[in-house]
Amino acid sequence: MSDSESSTDESLDLHDGQMRHQSFAPRRATMWLLAKSLHRLIQNGRLTVFDPNGEKWCFGPGGGPTVSVRLDDVGLPARLLANPSLALGEAYMDGTLRIETGSLRDLLMICTTDIDTLDLMPGKRLRRWLDRLLSRRLHHNPINRARSNVAHHYDLSTKLYDLFLDADRQYSCAYFATGNETLDEAQDLKKRHIAAKLLLRPGLDVLDIGSGWGGLALDLAQQHQAHVTGLSLSAEQIAAARARATQSGLSDRVAFEQRDYREERGRYDRVVSVGMLEHVGHSGFDDYFNTLQRVLKPDGVALVHAIGTMAPAGGSDPWIRKYIFPGGYLAPLSATIAAAERSGLWVTDVEILRLHYAQTLRHWSERFAAERESARRLYDERFCRMWEFYLAACETAFRNGRLMVFQIQLAKRRDTVPLTRAYIAEARSHRRLNVKSTGNQTGRTR
């Protein structure tokens, strides 16, 4: 469990299920229990841990990333056992967990390679039970709470997002057709892919639920001559989107409104919602899909692009919920489709994007690292460490965990969309020719 350099080799032993040592202090027992969990968990690479007493513990067979960390808080081993994700993220933010060799990404990759063993850690099992018990309260987002949750994350300075997003400020999973695209290319492909599934033609009325900084809405208006209404609860995003519409000369075709989707009373030919479902909460799924059903015209089509989980039950990570997306809730695809069907909508197409978000997040992490000093001037060192952990943890969750992105196409009638998916490739090919000849005029200048 610990290597030959650790002074615990002779003093720490297991005998008939009992720990024996003349002066086995409670804190040392806690570190011993943490080491036992890490011994089972680390199945790839090599992790060296220096505990708060200066003792050295080594885990893993090698053959992968090599990471060395130092724990500088005597209470940290107990917190890591009790709530691994929250404690690890907070320790990295506070500097009580210091990475001496390797990188944060390497550490998280090592610790999440065997996701089934990670889920069996005592603290993880207890946390899942508590989350299930408190799920409705943790993930309940009435309009007032939804506004507060959105402001927590999306009303941060737009300058921060400019440091790591693409030129169009697409803050959602990109689409990597080959895996070799740049971030900007992959985000443009994502917009093309979504537009193709919406079966757009000139003059249609489109509702964009969760319109962000306006990039998709402006693209649909410019490239497909649609009339778009974008909804967001973020004051920062609405202001930026309206400025972009004016600058692009598209204000006559695009309107951005700061209101909750549940308050929408219009009727639309198309509805698109990218990265919004994750924020409606456990109790909000029926309201969400009932709203789509209500605002869609009889021959309407909707496209929902969202993060989901292949775990049997939905939920959210405790660190992400506390520091990044309060109120966030990730549902299994099965529960999402069930909610859509309860609303009376037909599920006409489903596509699973398994590793696309992992690649997107890797691009974001690298861009943020390159602009880290600018981020520190905007906020502070602790914020930078929080953001680094957020991007790296999310990437590893998509690479090694149970997360994916799905796109669900919905319609009121079963015959609204073509019989086969050939129209998607055809529409994307037509858009590619248009972009090549006219250029994309909706991107902002940095």
Calculate the dihedral angle through the C-alpha atoms of 81, 84, 87, 89, rounding to the nearest 10 degrees.
160
* Residue 283 CB contacts under 8 Å (≥ 6 apart), including other chains: 136, 139, 140, 141
| DSSP code of residue 268 | E
Q: What 3-state class would DSSP assign to 128?
A: helix
Active-site annotation holds for 58: no
414, two tokens: 């079963």
pLDDT of residue 134: 52
CATH 3.40.50.150 fits 143-438, yes or no: yes
List per-residue pLDDT tens for the chain, 446 residues long: 444 344 333 333 333 333 334 334 667 789 999 999 899 999 899 999 999 999 999 999 988 899 999 999 999 999 998 888 999 999 999 999 999 999 999 999 999 888 777 666 665 555 555 555 555 555 555 566 555 655 556 668 899 999 999 999 999 999 999 999 999 999 999 999 999 999 999 999 999 999 999 999 999 999 999 999 999 999 999 999 999 999 999 999 999 999 999 999 999 999 999 999 998 887 789 999 999 999 999 999 999 999 999 887 777 888 998 899 888 889 999 999 999 999 999 999 999 999 999 999 999 999 999 999 999 999 999 999 999 999 999 999 999 999 999 999 999 999 999 999 999 988 877 755 443 333 333 333 32
pLDDT of residue 57: 96
Calculate the dihedral angle through the C-alpha atoms of 18, 23, 27, 32, rounding to the nearest 10 degrees.
-40
Name the one residue in this structure whose structure tokens are 């969309």: 417
CA gap 354, 287 in Å, rounded: 27
Answer whether 8-133 and 143-438 agree in fold: no
So where are the chain's domains?
Answer: 8-133, 143-438
Q: What 3-state class would DSSP assign to 197?
A: helix
Q: Which overall architecture, per CATH, does domain 8-133 show?
A: 2-Layer Sandwich (3.30)
Catalytic residue among 58, 111, 173, 394: 394
* Residue 15 CB contacts under 8 Å (≥ 6 apart), including other chains: none
Q: What 3-state class would DSSP assign to 331?
A: strand
pLDDT of residue 433: 42
